[in-house]
Amino acid sequence: MFKQSTFLSSVEVGKHLYWEIGNYSIHGQVFIVSWMVIAVLVALSFIGTRSLQRVPGKLQNFMEFILEFLQDIAKNQIGEHEYRSWLPYIATIFLFILGSNWAGALIPWKLISLTEGELAAPTNDINTTVALSLLTSLAYFYAGLSKNGLGYFSRYIEPTPVLLPINILEDFTKPLSLSFRLFGNILADELVVSVFTLLVPIIVPLPVMILGLFASSIQALIFSTLSAAYIGEALEGHGEH
């Protein structure tokens, strides 16, 4: 009975490429595609800003549009006076998630064969989305403590100490909701595209892929907007009451 249960507990859904570094197993597929996404973002940033002109060209116009869009997200959620210091974080989160989502939706990774598993969007792995969510949690705790000091924790007993357990629980549910929403939507989108590709290889998957690009963009927007909202909430003057 023990052997059978051990065997069943070791069964995994799908195959994955792991790199063994010392006593740690690193998810190779996630790292490979993440590095690709980061390399593309860095290259676009460098090319788009290396020769700025007073009269911008098409690429500079596009880069300025992206910057203004991300500034609006941070400004609307964090506030006019404090959003600038948090803009790099919000922009990085948005661009990395968008790039990762689009990498899974646009690139036919199945054509690249690996020894184990296949390449896919980093955001369809729960470890990636949880890591991004925990970064947001650390960011808004840092924002609250840097602005209000230890008085930041007074928010846990506002408007009444009776709400202390609920307010503490809220800090656990925020990263959970962020991570599972992003992970679930991206994984579901890739599964739908894969199923339609198997059933009708050419025609049907195309509109589904276009819909997937739209949904991927929305998920990046939701994640970055909520991250900015949590940081803005932490920056409110709880310690001044």
> pLDDT by residue (tens digit) across 129-146?
999 999 999 999 998 888
Q: For residues 177 and 194, what is the distance between their CA atoms, to the nearest angstrom?
A: 26
How many CB atoms neighbour CB 163 within 10 A?
15
What does the block give as tokens for 7?
């065997």
User: What pLDDT digit, counting tens, does each position of 93-112 carry?
Assistant: 999 999 999 887 777 666 56
Residue 231: band (very low, low, confident or very high) from pLDDT cuts 50, 70, 90: very high
- What integer pLDDT is reported at residue 202 of this predicted model? 61
Cβ-proximal residues to 63 (8 Å cutoff; 6+ apart), any chain: 44, 45, 48, 49
Cβ atoms of 148 and 237 closer than 8 Å: yes
Tell me what pLDDT residue 139 has: 93
Supply 131's token pair: 């890591």
Burial class (CB in 10 A: 0-12, 13-18, 19+), 213: middle
> What is the C-alpha to C-alpha distance for residues 193 and 196, in angstroms, rounded to an integer?
5
Is pTM beyond 0.85? Reply is no
Give residues with Cβ within 8 angstroms of 205, minimum separation 6: 193, 196, 197
What percentage of residues in the chain have a pLDDT greater than 90?
A: 28
52, 144 Cβ separation under 8 angstroms: no
